[in-house]
Amino acid sequence: MAFSGLDIYKLLPKTNCRECGLVTCLAFAMQLAKKAASIDKCPYLSTEAKKALEESALAPIKLITIGTGNSKLEVGNETVLFRHEEKFHHPCGLGFIIEDSLGDSEIKERLDKINKLVFERVGQELKVNLVAVRQTGDKEKFIRATELVFNNTQLGLVLMSEETEALKEALIKVRERKPLIYHATLENMAVVSKLAQEFQCPLVATALDLDKLSSLTRELNSQGVGELVLDVGATSLKDKIWDLTQIRRRALKKSDRSLGYPTLSIIENEDPYEETMEAATCIAKYANIVLIKGIEPAEVLSLLTLRQNIYTDPQKPLQIEPKLYPVGKAGDKSPVLVTTNFSLTYYTVLGEVEASKIPSFIISVDTEGMSVLTGWAAEKFTPEKITDSINKAGLAEVVSHKRLIIPGYVAVMSGDLEDKSGWQVVVGPKEAAGIPSFLKNL
């Protein structure tokens, strides 16, 4: 936990010398707590106090980078247990395990499908992040599979092997991709930690309980390895929830630095539905990387959508540019529907207008990302705002009629809007789902 202003004050000289530029040490402490001042400004700070303050300024959960360039994955740096407290910062990485027992053509085919797992939702691109190569037999096969994966995808890599020599040879081949090494255990730590150092790659630390995991990361730290990802091994889903929660709590609330790293969950379930539900659970409950085997689009789309939902900033709803959007081959006789610029609202309306197959215009009003009812209540979705948007979009030049369709929930503004805009108002359905039948009967 970060220090409060008073905690910091206790560590300062309390001489009010003003050399930091502030009137009192207390004022300086408050600025430090807000991260609005740097501790270097105080020339009289003791070494111990400085160390304590520097440590408290470190993120409680370290940010770890896997991969390079466009497909770089950054995870960690989380600050809360519940998204409403602030937000979850770095969306959990989703990756796919490919076992080296598969034939070359099968591996290529799989990678081909994985590379195509890119979706668009509410104006955002949803992408998968990692491919993990897992050794099941001899070393040569693992190296071969690793090279195949390296050459056939740009995604980040995870190298999964129990054989340190195999890890080393694979690392020599793919080091430039900065793969995640799986894994250091209490048994192989001495050797694997050297690999992580030599190749400058992040490393998964695995131990079967949290105390062992904590000693393992301390040990790795003392050997100079600090780019770590935590794994508690193959446990039941219930134990995963428990461990992931404990790790997050201890890192944030107890400032336990030995557990202040992102976490990895591996889902081993051959049933695609169950695999999806287990992975979904880990995404919701603090996993920073989730590895699955299934590559079916429906499964992956649902997980990426959940990740998008959970990692959306609760204070900043997703917005779209407020403007006039034609749908289909909209012409001067096409109906005009008014809605807000909250992504979810806009895309829901868009989906229904598309489904109606009736070419239309949607004008999205700048409500600062609020939905229809919220925007109306907060006076962001008003006759004035709508009139402004119509004028800005030059709607009168685009269509030859003067009719606006407004959401059913704001029917009460009809009269006022007609007066302000000079357009005739038609009250549409309350729910977007009613749009297709509404448009057909217009």
| Distance from C-alpha of 116 to C-alpha of 93, rounded to nearest angstrom | 17
Our finding on whether 436 is near other proteins (CB under 8 A) is: no
What is the phi-psi region of residue 180: left when phi exceeds 0, alpha when psi lies from -120 to 50, beta otherwise?
A: beta
Compose the 79-108 pattern: x for residues touching other proteins by CB under 8 A, - for all others. Answer: ---xxx------------------------
Residue 433 within binding range of other proteins, rule CB under 8 A: yes
249 binds other proteins (CB under 8 A): yes
Q: Are 146 and 111 in contact (CB under 8 A)?
A: no
State the virtual CA torsion across 62, 67, 68, 70 in degrees, nearest 10.
Answer: -100
As given in the structure block, the two tokens for residue 279 are: 């992975």
Output the smallest distance, CB 78 to other proteins, in A: 16
Q: Which is nearer to other proteins, 354 or 418 (CB)?
A: 354
CA distance 432 to 345: 9
Q: Does 59 bind other proteins (CB under 8 A)?
A: no
Residue among 55, 198, 274, 321 that touches other proteins (CB under 8 A): 274
The answer to whether the beta carbons of residues 241 and 280 sit under 8 Å apart is: no
Q: Which amino acid is at 279?
A: A
Q: DSSP 3-state helix, strand, coil percentages of the chain (rounded to 5)?
A: 45, 15, 35
| Structural tokens at position 287 | 């996993």
Q: Which of 171, 71, 155, 73 is nearest to 110 (CA)?
A: 155
Q: Is 427 in the site for other proteins (CB under 8 A)?
A: no
Which of 77, 242 has the CB closer to other proteins?
242
**In the complex, what is the shortest distance from the CB of residue 399 to other proteins, in angstroms, rounded to a whole number?**
27
Residues 270, 372: Cα–Cα separation, whole Å: 43
Q: For residues 218 and 401, which CB has a smaller minimum distance to other proteins in the complex?
A: 218
| Binding characters for other proteins, 340-359, by CB under 8 A (x = yes) | ----x---x--x--------
CB 4, min distance to other proteins, A = 20
* N-terminal to C-terminal alpha carbon distance within the chain: 59
Of 79, 221, 302, 414, which one interacts with other proteins (CB under 8 A)? 302
> For other proteins, which residue of 63, 284, 398, 426 counts as binding (CB under 8 A)?
284
The first and second tokens of residue 35, run together, are 């991260």
What is d(CA 99, CA 312) in angstroms, rounded to the nearest whole number? 33
- Does position 170 interact with other proteins (CB under 8 A)? The reply is no
| 257 interacts with other proteins by CB under 8 A | no
Dihedral sign of CA atoms 342, 348, 351, 355 in order: negative
Tokens of 433: 């789902």
| Binding status of residue 315 toward other proteins by CB under 8 A | no
Binding-site member from 10, 18, 218, 254 for other proteins (CB under 8 A)? 254
Smallest gap from residue 132 Cβ to other proteins (A): 22
Residue 208 binding other proteins, by CB under 8 A:
no
Residue of 129, 265, 288, 312 that binds other proteins (CB under 8 A)? 312
What does the per-residue mask of binding to other proteins show for 114-143, with x meaning CB under 8 A? --x--x-xx---------------------
Label residues 226-243 b or e (16+ Cβ within 10 Å = b). Answer: ebbbbbbeeeebeebbeb
Interacting residue ranges for other proteins, rule: CB under 8 A: 82-84, 116, 119, 121-122, 236-238, 241-242, 245-246, 249-250, 253-254, 272-274, 276-277, 280-281, 284-285, 296-299, 301-303, 305-306, 308-310, 312, 314, 344, 348, 351, 373, 433
